[in-house]
Structures are given as C-alpha cells and as structure tokens.
Structure 1
Amino acid sequence: MRATRGFYEIAAADPGRVAVVTDTAAAVTYGELHERANQVSHGLLARGTRPGDAVVTVLPNGVDAITMMLATYQIGAYHVPVNWHYTAEEVGYIVADCAARTVVGAERYGHAPPGGFVETRALAEGRPATPPEGRRAGSMMLYTSGTTGRPKGVRRRLIELSPEDLYPILTRKSWRHFGLPPDGVHLLLSQLYHSAPYGQAMMALQFGHAVVVTERFDAGETLELVERYGVTNAFMVPTMFHRLLALPTSIRTKHDLSSLTHLYHGAAPCPPATKQAMIEWLGPVLWEYYGSTEAAVATMVSSAEWLERPGTVGRAIDGLEFTIVGDDGAALPPGEPGMVYIGGINRFEYHRDPSKTAAAMRGPLYTPGDIGYLDEDGYLFLCDRRTDLIISGGVNVYPAEIEAVLQEHPSVADVAVIGVPDPEWGQRVVALVQPAAGAIPGADLTGELLAHCASRLARLKHPRVIEYRDRLPRTPTGKLSRSNLRKTYLPL
C-alpha cells in the first residue's frame, strides 16, 4: 500500500488531525480544512475560473488565506497573494496585470480595487464539500519588484497532474532536502504573500503537520508558542534572530524549546555573529537556504556544515548547479567573486515582460542578481547584490559585509550601508544606524563603531559617514530597500 500523497489524501485518511491553530478561533482539522477548500474550489469554478486563470487574494495570515492556497492548488489556478497593506491602486495594478478572474479579500483588511472583493465565506456558501472534478495542480504566482519599476508576476509552467501525482515530484526535487518527518508542528511567523513563508506552510500541510498561525512576529510570544504547541519547525529571517537575541536572558531561558528540530532561515543575509549566537543558544537546529521567488530553493546548509564554513549559504541541491560569471562573461574559478547564475531551475517567466525574463537569463542559466563565489567544495558564499555594490576609488565594496560587522556591536539594533556620490572617490560609504535600546547616538557611539570596524574591515571599507535613524525600513522578510534609502538620504 503506497503512502499518502499530500494534504488532500491525509485529510481523507485522517480527518480529525489538527491542521491550523490560531489565537482567534478554535483549531481547524484536516477534514474541516479540506471541506472548506473544496467548497471554495467549487465557488471559484462557478465564477468561471479555469486552469491557468489567476485568483488574487488580499488576506492576512489565517484560515481563509490557507484555504485559498489549497482551493486554488487543486483547480489548476495561479494563486496571487497580495500584501494587504497595499493601496487600492497598487492592488488594482496587480489585478489588471494578471487578469484576475476573482479577487478575494475583506474590506476590513485591505483596500479594495475597482470591482471590490468577494469574501472566502461567500465563495464557499452553499457549495459542495466534495472534491471538484478534473482536479489538477495549480501554482502560486508572486509579484516581485526587484530593484526598479512596477512589480512583475513570476509565472511557472503548470503541469497537467493532480496535486497527489505532483507530490512525489516536488518531494524528490526539493522538499526532501528539508529533512522533515511526516508529523510535526510548523510555526508561521511571516506573511503568506511572501514566497518562503508560503512555500513552507504549504510543505508543512503536505507533510501532515499542524500549522500554528501568527499575524505578526513578536519575539517573546514566539518562544511561548514553541513551548505551548511543541513546535518542531519554523522559518525566520535574520531580523527575527536579532530580536530574539535581544530578549533578556530571563525570558530566553524561561521556555522549553527542546521540541524545535528545524529552524530554517533565508531571504536576507545573516551576519555570521548572529547565526553563531543562535546556534550556541538553540543547538544545531538552524538550516539555511538560498534561492528566490524565481528559482525557489537552490541550496541548503546544516548548522554543522555552516560551522565548518562560516558565512556559506550552502551547496546546490540535487539537480541544480552554480556558475560564477565575471564582467567579461567568462566563468570564474573558485574563490573569485562574480555574478551568481543557477542552472537546472524550473522554467519561469515574468508575466507580460519578456525583456525582463531575457535579462535574467544566460541561456538556460538564471541569475538572482547576486554577487558571490564558490569554494573548492562547491559551497556558495554571497557578497552582495549587484545593484547594491559600492565602487569607491575603483574598489568594489560590499554593503552586506560592512553591515554584518556593525551588527555585531551591542549598541546597534539595525544598520543599512549605502553608497552615495563623492567627487573624489566616485562613491563614499555611508552607514545608517538604528541604535539599540539604551544606546545614545552621537560622536561617542560613532567613535566606538569605527573602532569596532578597525580590526575587522580594511580601511577602505570603513563608513565615511555614520548617521542615526529611529528605524530602518524592512519588509516582513527582513529585506532592506537600499534604493529607497538612497533616495531619502541624498536630498540631505
């Protein structure tokens, strides 16, 4: 007898298993979630949704958002989750660009585009709780803006297979690298309109895990939830690590965190000192992966591997490979930084933007736009994004390297490093620092930070200017928008 293949078969075989837990409602079982997803699938089909059509959702984390993931996934639709903080104009642009057949949301959460929202409840009302006919796997289609211009949808080719028949393919290509057992508890800490949280929550449900849902990250609450529900796995970003490590020792040692076996992180660079501190605290449970919305997961590295090679983001997972390309277009040897290209990824396109698709490709190879190098054993080390590179006095300076050093200082809560025009050097290095609680910004702190850099960075990498900010803008996935920071800084 073959093993079950994903959420839908698990729901039929074990309907009483807990699927979703929130603080705002009673736990939802796999059977109940399956019935809700089926009803919504029928509701979408009744509104004319067909395989390959887009369905936009503007929903916060919760049962409705997860229901939409599962409903669209079994009718061959492209699910387009949109940030519910967006304005009506921003939501309207995405709705028009992807030619959405249906827009699902609620007025109390998001700004309705022209035509308004339909609520999940209304889609399900009066519909059969049985699976729809002709089931075939859909896909998420996330909009990513990159560094400039309007956001573009990342659209993958749909495969004419049912979700159950696609399951072993996804397991063989990607999911098995996560090393998760068939039972567990996943803690959702980031918004589902981002690729990593979306992918991890979907994978957890396909493995039969319970998903504990939060609407926003709170460091102290996170530790309490791990203990209360026996959380086994979660995805975080480095800013979350920073906030957890900033908790008083009395809070950090108060909770039993021994159930946690896999704490994944990615999406943004993690300062080595921060990761080292997390491993010392929680043990070798950290797993890092590198990828993008376009490439999905491209590497995986365990705590043990990382401790042997601090700073690496891992080696290519099976079926993928990396090529480092120099400015002359030639492949570079180990140890030399250049543009990172990934081979073997699933085909994708930027919706309605063939020129952007072409610009990201080099034959069959795709680049996320990052600069990095490989060591002799094929482990990838990232330097920075090409668009964030600072060229000062003809020398390449990587902001992420400087940020990692400054974040090691206890008086720094957050930091962004940018390059600004300089008549002599071309660009000068500027550090925008958010002081930690109790730290006093000013000349004394600036002196401390520069002294801190002295033994860790070459002189040419030291910030020429350090300025202080109450807060730095980060996305829920921990990414800084240096382009926006440059725009706000330059007029000063």
Structure 2
Amino acid sequence: MRYGGITAMVASPTTLSGLKEALDLIESREEREGCIRGLNEIRALSTGSMAVPDSVKDVWRKLRGGRPLVIMYGFTEAAGMMAMTDWRDLETREISSGNCGTLAPKMEAKVNECGEICFKGPLLMKRYVSAQGNVMSNVFDDSGFYKSGDLGSISVKGEISIHGRANQDVIRSLGWKVNALEVEDALREHPSISNIFVLGVADTEAGQRVAPLIVKKRDMDPKSQKDFRLVALRKYLAIEKHLPAFKLPSLLRVIPHGAAIPASDSGKPSKKKMEGVYFGSGSGSAESGEVEVWDFRTKEDFPERPWDWEGRPPA
C-alpha cells in the first residue's frame, strides 16, 4: 500500500489527536511505518481553529522527525489568517506555547486594556449582515480595531500569542481567576484521556466551578475507571502537575470516545453549548449521577504546600 502524494495538510488539534490514537491502534509494524513515512512526506502540516496544546505539538514533532506543526490563527470575520508560523522554517524553529507566528501583511494588531487582542486591516469584514439593529454594537473600538474576543499578547518581534477566549477560558472560582487552558494542558497528558475541555460552570457557592469535560480513550483499560473520579484527578493535578488547590476541578463529566462534541456554526468546539448539553439540567445534571460535584469541605490526603492557601477553603 502506498501512503504518499500529500504535500500540505490542515487539521484541527482534535483531528490530530484522533489520528495519533488511530496510529497507536495499528498492530502491523509495516503498516504503521508506512503511515509515518506518508506523514513525513507532508511538507507543511498546519493546525488551528482552537488552542493548540503543547502536548499535541510535541507528539507531532516527534512523529515527523523533529519538524514542528505550522500554527495558524484566524476567525470567521477575516478573509485569511491573522497570523501563522513560517512553514519554510520547520527544521530549526521552536514555537513557544500560545505562539501563532507573525502578523499577516498590511494588518495591525494591539492588546487593549482588558487583555483582548484587536486587529485592523484589509482582511477584516466591514460589518455583519443581520436584521438586528444592534448587531454591530461593541464589535469595533473607537479606533476601528476589531475586538477578537481572544486574550493575547504581542512580542517585541511582532509575534502573536493567544491565551484563550475572554468569555470562556477565564474561570472565576472562589474569588480567583483560573486559566482553563492551563488545566486542560495538565489533564491532556493523563494516560486515560483522549480529549479534554475545561469549562467554567456557574455555581452559587464558588461563583464558577472548574469543570472538566473528559473524553475517554478508545482503548482504555476498564481498570482505569477509578482514574475518572474527582478525588483521583485532583490528586493527579496537585501532585503530578503541581497545580495549586484553587485551580483543581470541582465538577466533572466523563463521556465515552466518539460522543458528540457540541460545536459552533463554523465547526469549532463550543464550550457554551457543552455546558448546556453536559452540565445543564436533565440527563447531564448532578441528580442523574453523570456529573460529579466536589464538596469543598473535603479533607484531601495529599500534603499541603506553601501556595495552597491561595484557594484552599479554611478548615
């Protein structure tokens, strides 16, 4: 069987993770090596549409003999990518976490006082087509910059880094701000997890709870079921990943491999829709037993550390 002929490919991080799992399930050494040869014939393997975890970058760099993924950043309101790493510099370039490369030609970018990255230039739309009179409210700032809704930064070299969505990746729990992407990255390395989305779910006690939606691995060992309890995940994150107590999950939903992931009209995973489907009332409610809720008064058996005062409730 021949696996060549493709020189460029674009795939979301979710698709890349699925491909890696499929590779791991190939029993024939000859077939697996053939697939890897085909992957290495791809000159530019690009990804984007959502945050690209460092673990995904590392896995695919190793599979492709040290060549990193091409990271792209854009959105529906633009006629092209706002930023992209250089595919011609694949042999030596190290891409830092969140880095999406340099700004597209003739575009301008800035970070406003809220930490939101804003853009201006010929690739951007003029307006939304809608019968709603207020559809353009707060879309552009007073200087004509489009407000992307993404938290970001711009390096001295002009490289764009994205740190998450302002309205869904900053969780305010117990009076603290938690970056959902940081918790996702830590959980993504768990051996039994195929995919992970960390949400902020409204709660009367905490304001918002740090709530992972976990997709199990396809070939997960049934003995690993105990891994998917809040007490086990919190201990894993605290001890193995060194997360302080206020960032630990306090709500949990686990779904099987292949379960539907709610998406936006443009096909991107939608955390807002996930919250309604998997953490809302009905089949996903705590009363059904499918959502586990952490009692903040629970005494945990891992040792306290100097920084745990930041979020550990008083005894």
TM-score (norm 2): 0.73
Distance in 1, Cα, partners of 2:242 & 2:91: 24
Q: Which amino acid aligns with 1:319?
A: K
User: Is residue 262–residue 273 contact of structure 2 (8 Å, CA) maintained in 1?
Assistant: no
The DSSP-based 3-state class of the residue aligned with 1:373 is: strand
> Which of residues 234, 245, 253 is equivalent to 1:450?
234
| 2:13 equivalent to 1:238 | yes
CA 1:292/1:253 → structure 2, altered by over 3 Å: closer, same or farther? same
Measure, in 2, the Cα distance between the counterparts of 1:438 and 1:391. 33
Matched, 1:425 2:206: yes
The Cα offsets for residues 437-459 of structure 1, whole Å up to 9 and x where unpaired, read as 22446444435533442225332
For the 8 Å contact 1:267–1:290, the answer to whether it is kept is: yes
Report the 3-state secondary structure (helix = DSSP H, G, I; strand = E; otherwise coil) of the residue aligned with 2:58. helix
Match of 1:343 in 2: 120
Does the Cα contact within 8 Å between 1:339 and 1:369 map onto a contact in 2?
yes
Pick from 384, 401, 404: which aligns with 2:182? 401
Q: How does 1:150-299 map to 2 (within 5 A)?
A: 227-228=3-4, 230-246=5-21, 247-248=23-24, 250=29, 251-255=31-35, 256-257=37-38, 258-283=40-65, 284=67, 286-295=69-78, 296-299=80-83
Bigger radius of gyration: 1
Q: Any gaps of 5 or more consecutive residues in structure 1?
A: 1-223, 328-337
Aligned match of 1:307 in 75, 85, 94?
A: 94
Match of 1:490 among 252, 264, 280: 280
Q: Secondary structure at the match of 1:467?
A: strand
- State the Cα deviation string for residues 388-435 of structure 1 (Å, max 9, x = none): 132113322222222222112221011221112223321111112111
1:357 is aligned to 136
- Distance in 2, matches of 1:407 and 1:391, equals 22
3-state DSSP of counterpart to 2:167: helix
Alpha carbon RMSD of aligned pairs, Å? 2.6
Q: How much has 1:287 moved relative to structure 2?
A: 1.1
After superposition, the C-alpha distances for 1:83-112 in whole angstroms (9 at most, x for unaligned) are xxxxxxxxxxxxxxxxxxxxxxxxxxxxxx
Structure having the higher helix fraction is 1
| Alpha-carbon shift at residue 486 of structure 1 (Å) | 1.6
**C-alpha displacement of 1:305:** 7.6
Superposed displacement of residue 484, structure 1: 1.6
The 8 Å contact of residues 344 and 364 in structure 1, kept in 2 or not, is answered as: no
SS at match of 2:127: strand
* Count of aligned positions: 257
Displacement after TM superposition at 1:274 (Å): 1.0
Structure 1 counterpart of 2:164: 384
Q: Distance in 2 between matches of 1:472 and 1:403?
A: 19
Instruction: Check conservation: 2:228, 2:254, Cα contact below 8 A.
Output: no
Q: Is the 8 A contact 1:237 1:478 kept in 2?
A: no
Amino acid at match of 1:459: A
- Which of residues 456, 459, 479 in structure 1 aligns to 2:268? 479
**Structure 1 residues 374, 252: closer, same or farther in 2, change over 3 A?**
farther
**Cα distance 1:414–1:285, how it changes in 2: closer, same or farther (>3 A)?**
closer
Identity of aligned residues (%): 24
2:295 matched to which residue of 1? Answer: none
CA contact (8 A) 2:60 2:68 kept: no
Q: Secondary structure at the match of 1:322?
A: strand
Structure 2 residue ranges without an equivalent (≥5):
286-315
Instruction: Find the counterpart in structure 1 of residue 289 from structure 2.
Output: none
- Native 8 Å contact 2:117 2:149 kept in 1: yes
- The answer on whether the counterparts of 1:383 and 1:401 sit within 8 Å (CA) in structure 2 is no
- Structure 2 distance, partners of 1:306, 1:402, is 26
The secondary structure found in structure 2 opposite 1:368 is strand
Q: TM-score by structure 1 length?
A: 0.48
Would the aligned equivalents of 1:421 and 1:427 in 2 still touch at CA under 8 Å?
yes
Q: Distance in 2 between matches of 1:244 and 1:377?
A: 34
Q: Secondary structure at the match of 2:46?
A: strand
User: Out of 443, 466, 469, which is 2:255 matched to?
Assistant: 469
> Taking structure 1 as reference, are residues 275 and 260 closer, same or farther at Cα in structure 2, changes over 3 Å only?
same
Q: CA deviation at 1:278?
A: 0.3
User: Conserved in 2, the CA contact under 8 Å of 1:416 and 1:480?
Assistant: no
Measured against aligned partners, the alpha-carbon deviations of 1:215-236 in whole angstroms (never above 9, x if no partner) come to: xxxxxxxxx78x24x1100111
